[in-house]
Structure 1
Amino acid sequence: MIASVFSKSRPFNYILVSGLLVLCFFIYQTQTVDVTSNTSFSWLKGIQKSVILLLLVASLFVTNFIIKRNGLSKDNSFSALFFVSFLMFIPSAFDDFKIVLSSFFILLAMRRLISMKSLLTPKEKIFDASLWIFIAALFHFWSILFIVIVFVSIIFHVSGDYRNWVLPFIAFFTVGILFIFFSLLIDKEWLNVVWNQTGTDFEFYYLEKSAGNAALVLYALFSIVFLFSMVFTLSKRPIIMLASYKKVIFIFLISILIYLISPDKNNTLLLFGLMPASILATGFIEINKDSVLKEIVTGAVLATGILLFIFQL
């Protein structure tokens, strides 16, 4: 039933998933706010949480825009459903301003890179994407690894023009010089904050919590199934779309690498992989003709997301 409902791209479906996202956000906030403290919910914190909600809702629609605009799925709303379902795996994202902001900037960058298959204004897209990635790195340093996707896109589409290879470096120096200038002008501590993020950590101490452990394992299991399905069915995809699907795979793999090497590790880092994971999951559903399997998979992902969300409150 769930698969049949989301097999069409109806406004009601997007209202439904958006409402679910907002509902989960407010449930999480009511469970985490310390009502006994007078300072636990200041105006500043309230504004920050409102921005987090707006960014997550915007991320949902930017993801949907990327998919629809670039023909990465058929006329359905599975990607929106999977995005919100996977988001429920990581309710800690509702409280992590920096990761949410960084992942949103990465989404804006990926929007530019995936659209490069049209070969319209490639230089602007390369520069814009690089700029967004380096800005994202100011909030979570290791998101800078997504710059690899810029060079992958250049190789796929416009490798013949040497100027395209220079543009990411121009973007790097632009962001770097402006950041250093404003840091020295306003607060030198900003430099230390970014520098302290450059370390690596392969430990998983936070997994002592069983709910977080279960969320990570189940997210990994679903993702592996969807990833391998995409890899082994690439030959069945339209030739014109192969470069875009390959970029999605690279984006997902880099999101895993960011999770593995980042210090202060937590499940919120999985947010960087939500867009590609949603595309991979949608691809799995679309390539399978068995309607029963579609219902089982969509129902399983949604139900797992709801249960994990409840257990992590």
Structure 2
Amino acid sequence: MITTIFSKSKPINFLIVFSITLIAFLLLPFKYPNLVNAETSIWTNIAVFILVYLTILLLNFIVTKNLLSQQNNYEILLFALFFLAIPQAFLDYKIVVSNFFILLTLRRLISVRSKKDVIKKLFDSGFLIALASLFYFWAILFFPLLFIAMLLFSETTVKYYLVPFIGLAAVAVLAISFSVLVYDDYFLVLNINPAVNFDFNSYNSVQFITAITMLLSFGIWSSLFYLKDIKKKMRSYRPSYKILFLACVFASVIAAFAPQKNGSELLFLFAPLAVIITNYIETIEEKWFKELFLGLLVVIPIVLLVL
């Protein structure tokens, strides 16, 4: 039944996804009151929720525009379910904003495939990653993805490899100028905080262990088939699929490096992982197994609600 509902893009799907995301958002302060900052205004919380839903719509746009799935809505369903499993992803509004900029970066980067306005797209990509890193420093780890993408798209023009640095520098200049004018400090706005933390004890709970196990097991299993099936895609679209897989890898590194491990750092994984799992679901021919696979992804977050 689940696969039937989401096998085609329909308005009702977006309403269902909105409802799941809203439940996850409303659940957080009741289930984890000790994690929520009581001083955060209701308007800030509403803005965070709206931005998360805009992120879902952006993910759907990227997938549909670049033919990264068979025109279904599995990816937005999975994205919302990940929030239901780990509602702590709402905790840090800066990561929510940073993740939104990273998705905009992926949109511009994947569009290099058309070979049109390449310089503009590379500048935008560098600019957007720089903006993302202003909100969450370790988002800068996505920067090497720009150069890998150029190699995947067979862009060998030397000047292209300089353009992302110009976008990065533009943000740095604007941020420093703003910092000097407002705070009388050169680097306050740059938010340079290269601290790392490899202590994963904060994940030592039934909820985190179950949710992370779900992401890892379903993600790794789907990735094996995802990578295998890339060669079956149209040649011009293969780099896009590889970029999404690499984005998932970089997001995993960011989660490992995160100085504060409260669950919000896992947000960078949600979008690329949702697309990877969606592609695997589309390859499953046995209807019962497809229902079971997707059903587990629905049931596990719901079970976590009562734990």
Q: TM-score, normalised by structure 1?
A: 0.91
Q: Contact 2:179–2:189 (CA<8 Å) still a contact in 1?
A: no
The one-letter code sitting in structure 2 at the alignment partner of 1:276 is P
Q: Which residue of 1 aligns with 2:17?
A: 17
Confirm or deny that 1:66 pairs with 2:66: no
Separation in structure 2 between the aligned mates of residue 11 and residue 158 of structure 1, nearest angstrom: 38
User: What CA distance in whole angstroms lies between the structure 2 residues aligned with 1:51 and 1:189?
Assistant: 29
Distance 1:148 1:290 in 2: 39
**Counterpart pick for 1:272 among 265, 268, 273:** 268
Letter in 1 for 2:144: V
Higher mean Cα deviation, 227-236 or 133-142?
227-236
Structure-2 residue corresponding to 1:113: 109
In structure 1, C-alpha distance between the alignment counterparts of 2:153 and 2:203, rounded to whole Å = 41
Provide the rounded CA distance (Å) in 2 between the counterparts of 1:64 and 1:196.
32
Alignment check: 8 A CA contact 1:60 1:83 kept? yes
Of 191-200 and 156-165, more deviation after overlay is shown by 191-200
- Residue aligned with 2:67, SS: coil
Is structure 2 residue 186 aligned with structure 1 residue 170? no
Paired position in structure 2 for 1:137: 133
1:281 alignment partner in structure 2: 277
Q: Which amino acid aligns with 1:3?
A: T
CA distance in structure 1 between the aligned counterparts of 2:22 and 2:185, rounded to whole angstroms? 34
Q: Distance in 1 between matches of 2:186 and 2:207?
A: 34
**Residue aligning to 1:159:** 155
- State the 4+ residue runs in structure 1 displaced beyond 3 angstroms: 29-34, 188-196
Q: Give the Cα–Cα distance (whole angstroms) in 1 for the partners of residues 264 and 33 of structure 2.
A: 19
Write the deviation string for residues 16-42 of structure 1: whole angstroms up to 9, x where unpaired. Answer: 1112212321232455569xxxx936x
Match of 1:40 in 2: 38
User: Which structure has the higher relative contact order (CA within 8 Å, separation 6+)?
Assistant: 1
2:243 maps to: 247
**Normalising by structure 2, what TM-score?**
0.93
Question: 1:173: Cα distance to partner?
Answer: 1.2
Is the 2:109–2:146 contact (alpha carbons within 8 Å) kept by the matching residues of 1?
yes
Give the direction of change, closer, same or farther, for the CA distance of 1:52–1:162 in structure 2 (3 Å limit).
same
Equivalent residues of 2:17, 2:80 under 8 A apart: yes
Rounded Cα–Cα distance in structure 2 between residues aligned with 1:2 and 1:96? 31
* Distance (Å, rounded) in 1 between the aligned partners of 2:147 and 2:90: 32
Q: In structure 2, how many angstroms separate the alpha carbons of the residues matched to 1:284 and 1:199? A: 36
Q: Contact 1:197/1:263 (CA < 8 Å) preserved in 2?
A: no
Q: Closer, same or farther in 2 for the Cα pair 1:203/1:40, shift >3 Å?
A: closer
Deviation at 1:188, TM superposition (A): 5.5
Cα distance in 2 for residues equivalent to 1:307 and 1:190? 49
The alpha-carbon distance between structure 1 residues 267 and 3, as it changes in their structure 2 partners (threshold 3 A), is same
Question: C-alpha offsets along residues 116-135 of structure 1, whole Å, 9 cap, x if unaligned?
Answer: 11112111111111111011
How many residues are treated as equivalent by the alignment?
305
Secondary structure of the 2:85 match is: coil
- Give the percent of matched residue pairs that are identical in Structure 1 and Structure 2: 29
Do 1:122 and 1:158's aligned partners in 2 also have CA atoms closer than 8 Å?
no
Structure 1 residues 190 and 93: alpha-carbon distance in aligned structure 2, compared to 1, 3 A threshold: farther
1:1-313 counterparts in 2 under 5 A? 1-31=1-31, 40=38, 45-157=41-153, 159-187=155-183, 191=187, 197-311=193-307
